[in-house]
Chains A and B, each alone.
Chain A
Amino acid sequence: MKKRRLTRFLFTALIASTALCGCAKKSDGNTKTTAVTKTGTPVTYTALYPREVTTLNYLVTSTILDHRIPANCIDTLVEYDLDGKIKEGLAAEWTYDKAALTWTFKLRDAKWVDHTGAAAADVTAHDFVDAMKYALTPEYESASAQNLFGVIANAQEYYNGLVFNGGADDSGKIWAPIDFSEVGVTAVDDHTLTYTLAAEVPYFLSSLVYVIYMPAYGPQLEELGKSFGTGADKMYYNGAFYLAEFAPQEKQIMKKNTLNYDSDHVFIDVLERIYNAEALTLGPEMIRRGEVDYAELTADILDDWNNNEETKKLISRERPKTDYSQFYCFNFDPQFDASYEPANWKKAVNNENFRQALAAGLNRLKSVSVLEPDSPDTYIINSITPIKFTYNEDGKDYTEFNAIAALGDTYDEAGALKFKAIAIEELSAAGVTFPVKVLMPYNPEIPNWDKESQVVEQQMEALLGADFIDIIIEPGPADNFLTEVRRSGKYAFMKSGWAADYADPETWTDPFYQEKGEGGYKPGYKYSFFAKAIEDNTKTAETVTEYFALVDAAKAIKVDTNSRFEAFAEAEAYLINHALAVPYSIQVSLHLANKLDVFEAQYAPFGVSWMRYKGMTVKDHYISMEEYEANRK
């Protein structure tokens, strides 16, 4: 009897739990109707995305993946137009007082809205001040706070004052706490904002489109603290869109903010982004069925699509970006496994002729062809700074300055063999064994990088000889590749990349330059670990020291743009001519199926402008290559 009762009870519990599970519906909190077009149907743009953001809090994250939502939902002081020229954003006008190093911005009227699109508060100058204070609070762990050090007056002093509270840092410098009112950001009144700089910063205006300078509603920051940006209902919006729904690893829904000052130039009502880890596989099939408006097309299916009359007209490309440069790095502080002979590599890499042999032996045209079979030469660059990245006041491209303009194609077969012969002689005398093992990892999550690496290996070994170098291709971890491989020094020679943070050639020294502090060289962004050569007093020490000195000299020139550009050009040319790095390419534009004309978007070679959908219209067809080329012109 007891058993029967127990049986019945358990059975009932099983059925009840099956029936009841999943019944609870998630409240999306959105009770407002969507703005619609004149025809009554909301204009929706649907796309898949394969990687979820880690946070919505734009004041603390420096990950590009996390920037798409704030790029569209938070307006900045300035914006960029279609051609990459700065124009008014939230700031209607601005002036600069050179003597006081102070920028003054007059704000237009603007509103904060919540996740339902309802007005919540007015945007004021205080919101910019409060946002900066939040970012400079160590407790909130902002990864972008350092962008303000040395730029905004007393930003570093305020931050370190909180951290050390009168104590000393590792170099012995004392950091006394200061009041935030001493930091160079002030709300004169609700519509007047000033930034006082720590020093002359020629690129300051261009850096205002970056997330660290975005405003946030002060009282909400105060109330939520660390919880700010942990959900769509945990922040306010003042941009072209507001985040109506955010369900991690499910969807991101942004809706047109009808209260935005520039809503007349927003032509999409709903941005619907659906999470799918298999987006690269499913996206193209969904394009064929017309279920999404955007998908990336990988090299694997491109040929098939090009050979099919129906799918051929669905293919276009993303806009070429000049804010991301790829180059090959030599590692001067190898930390990889002993089986790859790091000590032997270290001796070899400190020989300039060895590096020159590898630099001259890399046929970039061949390897870039893996990603771009049609016109690889349009992506190859001879400098670290891409062409059309930045210009002086006369409109002269930085890469036309003498030292950079003189750089030619690094690939030189005869030169490579000549350097090889000298290197063998010198390195043999130093006890280096041949072939020198060259560990070259790749990230398996980046499409086609494995194939590209194979081409590099075959081509370089064929030219220089497998008795000179033994290139070993290894897949790194798909997640945390940068931390596990590059930043840990677990490579010998590897393709790396850098995205510009602001419109000045100084940004392209950041991967390589290491500042000297009281306690030695700072680690920097951990690309080539140049300073190790100085610390170990190797043969490259003098070369690296000279490069650092050239960069220091260039940084010191604040006012005269031409002199500044010349000095940075000289430093960059020195870097390349001494084979401390090998320039490679700008990022190859992805092949896409897309219903947006990419040339309708805001454009800037850095910052978040390129992610904005404002000004773009959803077409009733997928853009073809003919249309893409016509729009490009």
Chain B
Amino acid sequence: MVNYLVKRIGRSLLTLVLILTIVFCLLRLMPVEGYFPNFEKMTPEQIQIGLDEMGLNDPLPVQLVRFFKDLLQGNLGVSRIYRANVLVVDILADKMPLSLKLGSLSMLLSLLVGLPLGALMARYRLRFFDKLGTLFIVCIQAVPAAVYFLFIQLYGTRLLDVGLLFKADDPLYWVLPAISMSLSNIAFYGMWLRRYMVDESNKDYVRLAKAKGISEGDVLFKHVFRNAFVPLAQYIPTAFLNTVIGSIYIESLYSIPGMGGLLVTVIKKHDNTMVQGIVLLYACVGVMGLLLGDLMMVMLDPRISLSGKEGDR
């Protein structure tokens, strides 16, 4: 296991370096206007001084080496446009906690509601509860999320007697954004768990357990559920880490000052140092998510071994 972890971490670091190098080079192909918030009103001399200061007139390999050196010291540079002269790490540190908290709450809600939903749908397959669950899933997946987010906000706020805009220090204001964010995941977990549980229910060991007299409930929840959960488990760490990315629409709707939409905003504003910083964050999240997902699968299913080639990703 230790060897495996060391190899995986090594490969992950290499992946990160590759991603960052490609993004770095691509960003250097962008027009220089993006580095200056008031480009059209600046003199050519001001622009050249600015480019010299940022090191953008240096050869690309020199810039790349300097970037990685700064990175090793924890310096992601300063924002040029989004928040002029503010450290990128400071901007991200301000925004991440809210997105993480909101995302974690919604994830918890998704698991607490989605998993029982899927299990009960499998338990009462083809009966009323299953049909009700299916209706819920179809509605959530068919209706554009923006529509029901807005409905939840407009009517949910009246029901809870809260304002339209988010207040971080009032727990009641977390309810609607968390519910909104969790709905699609509830549908996802419910749908897939039901499917996997139904598949598992047709296997021989289940028939044997029933033949031995174990109640259907016990068979489903003690045996079938655990096996059906394994394929879902690998996505949970990634889903949890992705909460740091935030939700673009929900955060903008409720005025939640999180990470949602930040990458899109800084790309549109051509704030290249911010883009680099956020891409690094996303790459780390992706790589770590995959690694933790694999580990989680191993923990749940002793048959899976990561040491062999088959278990490697």
Contacts and interface: CB of A to CB of B under 8 A. Distances in A.
B174 to A, nearest CB: 10
18 contacts: A2-B1, A10-B292, A22-B100, A22-B102, A26-B94, A54-B82, A60-B84, A138-B49, A141-B36, A141-B38, A169-B45, A227-B85, A250-B255, A275-B257, A276-B253, A276-B255, A277-B252, A487-B40
A14 B84 contact: no
A291 B165 contact: yes
The 3 closest A-B pairs by CB, nearest first: A143-B38, A22-B101, A250-B257
Given A250-B257, A277-B261, A144 B86 contact: no
Interface in B88-125: 91, 94, 97-98, 100-102, 104, 108
Interface of B: 1, 33, 36-46, 49-50, 53, 81-86, 91, 94, 97-98, 100-102, 104, 108, 150, 154, 163-165, 168, 240, 252-253, 255, 257, 261, 268-270, 292, 295-296, 298-299, 302
Given A7-B299, A139-B49, 10 more contacts: A26-B94, A48-B255, A54-B81, A55-B84, A141-B46, A169-B45, A230-B83, A274-B165, A480-B268, A483-B40
A276 B165 contact: yes
A71 to B, nearest CB: 18
Contacts of A291: 163-165
A57 interface: yes
A289 B43 CA distance: 49
Interface string A559-574: 0000000000000000
A278 B45 contact: no
Contact of B41 (A144, A160, A169, A248): A144
Q: Count chain B CB atoms within 10 A of each CB in A286, A477, A483 and give the residue with the most.
A: A483
Given A3-B299, A22-B97, A276-B255, A526 B45 contact: no
Interface residues of A, number: 60
A55 B97 contact: no
Contacts of A139: 49, 53
Interface string A226-249: 110011000000000000000111
B38 A61 contact: yes
Contacts of B49: 138-139, 141, 163
A92 to B, nearest CB: 33
A479 B98 contact: no
B270 A480 contact: yes
Contacts of B108: 18
A55 B164 contact: no
Nearest to B82: A54
Q: Count chain A CB atoms within 10 A of each CB in B1, B86, B292 and give the residue with the most.
A: B86
Contacts of B150: 281
B83 A146 contact: no
A285 interface: yes
B196 to A, nearest CB: 21
Interface string A463-492: 000000000000001111011000100000
